Copies of this chain bind each other. A is one copy, B any other.
């Protein structure tokens, strides 16, 4: 029977960050990471293995930094945990005792068992499993007709990548009026859909799958509820993820109504010395204050960093209460991003708001050769002018501009403050200082408030 001061279950981003940060802070404690897979993947990089990265190996991620910091790794599967006696058992017959236990078991794709044909050969999922994705890529490389089900970030990104091959016909099926409707208000989602269509994807919105059809156990296409059939040799389902909490449930941890491990602001579960972090753990929405299902590597690693310092007592206070979702992506060369509340989510949470928006170009003068149209929309509380959300599209710098908005939300910056906020601008890098889009959007909101 081996003993470790800290055992981490899972080798994804939060498992690695917990391990590295925790071990560096506690060099005299022994750390073990148990992971089922020898090779891991950068989760958000998975869509790009289908085209841009060329090889799955280009998207590999492993526990090397953790091992470098002095941690040990066991490739195995935990099958049983006795929380009261602090013992866990594995598939390969290991028995390990621990001082602190961290669940970083991540999430798994939702399998649409409610759709007939979900289990046909040729139906794939974006699992965060190296070998599985390598096999799926092998199949898509050969396929001529591919259907992607689900127009969330993963579905859109996978479809966009596959559509870059001239010889493939890629169809994307989304139930709602627009793709990405959870992260963007209609006008921006509509813009994204336009670009999705221009990227050569056959986009079917307002469309529901009736069944996945096949012959001899092999997929041949999908049938929509309106009767239309889209033929395909490969169907990829990307309708969402759910927290991977099978083991936690079995071990007796409390699970919330979203299926995530319940834990407090310091990632402590209802059992002493047991923590949960990342996709498998509960999140509270920063703006809404409600239990939310935010599953992002960025929020997972933010949690993991804090927990790394706090494993043996709270050394660093967690300053932001609640998890802010910040999304970004690029479709057909245009970047889209959002943070915090959007119009729909603010309405749903019954939060009063005004909108300020502004559009210009992201270089100045606009005649700079790589300039793109840029739009920023801010969601603002009319009471004190605090920024509670933002959406934007434009060139690649959107990827960082959304983090200005993210910080503004987390620090409760008001549009009044933003108006005198001093920014850096440069012709080759940003909008003009005279019409810096973020500040102009704040000004548009102010003009509705004063």
Contacts and interface: CB of A to CB of B under 8 A. Distances in A.
Interface stretch (A143-151, A168-176, A418-426): A418-426
A399 interface: yes
B421 A330 contact: no
Contact of A368 (B48, B61, B324, B408): B48
Given A396-B429, A423-B406, A368 B326 contact: no
A430 interface: yes
Contact of A302 (B315, B406, B420, B432): B420
Interface residues on A, range: 35 or more
A46 to B, nearest CB: 9
Determine how many copies of this chain the complex contains.
2
A417 interface: yes
Contact of A424 (B59, B337, B434): B337
A410 interface: yes
A406 B401 CA distance: 12
A80 interface: no
A419 B306 contact: yes
Contact of A364 (B45, B52, B414, B450): B45
A399 B306 contact: no
Nearest to A55: B367
A424 B411 contact: no
Contacts of A295: none
B45 A422 contact: no
Contacts of A335: 426, 428-429
Contact of A433 (B298, B364, B426): B298
B328 A297 contact: no
A369 interface: yes
A44 B427 contact: yes
A316 interface: yes
A406 B422 contact: yes
B399 A396 contact: no
A423 B403 contact: yes
Nearest to A327: B424
A179 interface: no
Contact of A44 (B60, B309, B414, B425): B425
Interface string A219-256: 00000000000000000000000000000000000000
A58 interface: yes
Interface string A268-309: 000000000000000000100000000011111111011001
Most chain B C-beta atoms within 10 Å of own C-beta, residue among A13, A24, A411: A411
Contact of A329 (B309, B318, B426): B426
Given A302-B439, A328-B425, 10 more contacts: A42-B364, A52-B428, A61-B365, A301-B434, A302-B423, A329-B428, A330-B428, A339-B424, A399-B426, A400-B400
Interface of A: 13, 16-17, 21, 24, 42, 44-45, 48, 52-53, 58-61, 286, 296-303, 305-306, 309, 315-320, 323-330, 335, 337, 339, 364-365, 367-369, 396-404, 406-408, 410-411, 413-414, 416-417, 419-430, 432-434, 436, 439, 443, 446-447, 450
11 contacts: A302-B439, A309-B419, A316-B450, A319-B417, A339-B424, A396-B429, A399-B428, A400-B403, A400-B404, A406-B421, A406-B424
